[in-house]
């Protein structure tokens, strides 16, 4: 079971990249979402985001027992945070395919909030097990989503 948890928590090995694995996982999520977002209605995407987030909580706890507390290879929490960042945000601008600008701006915002860890994001890591690993990224995703929602409403051409 721990091997499966580590495999999932590391994004099928993506987390083992030597430089900035969290950033690479966030970028890979954005690339996948270019194809997913235009095809799913909000309720389906919100459900998928919830499933990924719950899965992250479930597998990141056992994975950190193998790899260490919130170890760099654990990146499924970034996937969940990035999905939360763009959940329910309308496409910004006239990009083709749709949502590309939303994803790029969301990626930048999520990485800023995930690295900066404004309160209470930083304190969330103190929670036990998978909750501590994932909650800071959920909060960073929520902060990013809020800023992105505002930008989507004031951005010219939306």
Q: Give the predicted TM-score (pTM) of the model.
A: 0.95
d(CA 156, CA 153): 8
Q: Which helix (H) or strand (E) holds 97?
A: none
Q: Are 118 and 134 in contact (CB under 8 A)?
A: no
Report which of residues 75 and 92 the model is more confident about.
Answer: 75
pLDDT tens digits, one per residue of 133-152: 999 999 999 999 999 999 99
Smallest CA-to-CA distance from 26 within 142, 141, 143 is with 141
Q: How confident is the model at residue 70 (pLDDT cuts 50, 70, 90)?
A: confident
Cis peptide before 120 (omega within 30 of 0): yes
Question: How far apart are alpha carbons 21 and 119 in whole angstroms?
Answer: 23
Domain residue ranges of the chain, discontinuous segments joined by +:
2-154
**Per-residue pLDDT band at 155 (split at 50, 70, 90):** confident
Residues 13-30: pLDDT tens digits? Answer: 999 999 999 999 999 999
Nearest to 107, CA basis, from 157, 46, 32: 32
pLDDT grade for 94, boundaries at 50, 70 and 90: confident
Q: Is 56's pLDDT higher than 60?
A: yes
């Amino acid at each position: 079971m721990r091997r499966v948890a580590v495999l999932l928590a590391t994004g099928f090995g993506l987390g083992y990249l030597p430089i900035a694995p969290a950033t690479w996982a966030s970028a890979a999520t954005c690339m996948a979402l270019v194809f997913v977002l235009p095809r799913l209605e909000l309720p389906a995407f919100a459900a998928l985001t919830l499933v990924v987030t719950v899965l992250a909580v479930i597998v990141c706890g056992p994975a950190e027992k193998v790899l260490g507390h919130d170890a760099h290879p654990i990146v499924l929490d970034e996937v969940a945070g990035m999905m939360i960042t763009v959940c329910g945000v309308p496409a910004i601008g006239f990009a083709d395919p749709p949502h590309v600008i939303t994803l790029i701006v969301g990626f930048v915002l999520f990485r800023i909030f995930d690295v900066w860890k404004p309160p209470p994001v930083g304190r969330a890591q103190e929670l036990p097990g998978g909750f501590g690993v994932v909650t800071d990224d959920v909060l960073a995703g929520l902060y990013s989503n809020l800023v992105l929602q505002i930008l989507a409403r004031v951005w010219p051409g939306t």
